Structure formats: C-alpha cells, structure tokens
Amino acid sequence: MPNSLTAIYPGSFDPPTKGHLDLIARGSRLVNHLIVAILKNTQKQALFALEERVEMLKELTAHLPNVEIASFDGLLVDYAARRGADTILRGIRDVSDYESELRMALLNRRMRPETETVFLMASAECSFLSSRMVKEIVMLGGDASAFVPEPVVRRIQAKFPTVTKR
C-alpha cells in the first residue's frame, strides 16, 4: 500500500445525486486524495454542460478538503496514468451494476495492469437512485428532493421552467 493514496472516482454525474455524494464522502475517508473525474462525454446527450456539473460538484464537496473536482476525456486508464492514480473508485447498487462494473474493471486492468478498481456498496437509502430517473421525476413535475441535494433540484427545475410542480 503506497503511503499517499490517490483514487479517481469517474462518472457522468448528470446530475450528481445523493448516491454520488455518499460515495464521495465515504471514499474521501479511505484515501489521501480523491479526484472526482467527470467524463466529457461527446456521445451521451447530457442535460447539464460539463461546466455546470463541475460547478455543482465543487459546491457540494466544498467541505471535503481532500476532494478535487476534475474532468477528463479519452480512456479512463490513460487519465489515471497522467494523474498518477492506480486506484479507481466505483459504487455498486445492485446485481446489474455488478455485472457491468466487473466488465469495466477487468477491461481497465487489462489495458493498464496497475489499475485497481475498488468498489463501495451504495448505502441502502441510495441503492435505487440514478441520475436518469431523477431527471425524469423532475421533468414530470415530481419532487426529487429526497434524491438530489436542493441546489441540484433547483438547477434541474430551471431547465424545465414550463413543468408544473405537483
């Protein structure tokens, strides 16, 4: 185990949910430096621009001094190598996450053998949460405040000003 451990927690974070924040807080206690790395995804149609996601995550993690918010494009393993991080942190909510995460971890290790993926189980109260469903709830006028922090709810609502709140 190296003396100073840097881990990368990669994802789309479109938008960040309470599940992501739970993982960031728990992950930040396990390592010296946690880089939350937002994928600059050119394929997926994102609701929030990269800059907005960076802004939200910076605001929501301001109380965690060893957490850095960054973004990356290209292969995750190449970014990890550039940042000197051999550890990738990911969350697992259920069996279907396990299957896709296992494939991703094995692929990443095959491409860069130094890469070790560490999984944290999602907290029970977050295990059903996904950014996609949160967006859908807000778009359809539902209350998502149990799933995403208040500043995020406001930002999603601002994207759909014509939706009537239930």
Q: Provide the 3-class DSSP secondary structure of residue 116.
A: strand
Torsion of CA 6, 12, 15, 19, to 10 degrees: -50
Number of residues lying near ligand PNS (CB under 6 A): 9
Report which DSSP code applies to 130: -
- Of residues 102 and 146, the one with the C-beta less far from ligand PNS: 102
CB of 78 to ligand PNS, least distance (A): 8
Residues 151 and 14 sit within 8 Å (Cβ to Cβ): no
Residues 34 and 24 sit within 8 Å (Cβ to Cβ): yes
List 6, 28, 61, 108, residue binding ligand PNS (CB under 6 A): 108
Judged by CB under 6 A, does residue 50 bind ligand PNS?
Answer: no
Distance CA 122, CA 108 (A): 21
Site string for ligand PNS, 65-104 (x = CB under 6 A): ----------xx---------------------------x
Footprint on residues 115-144 left by ligand PNS (CB under 6 A): none
CB of 10 to ligand PNS, least distance (A): 4
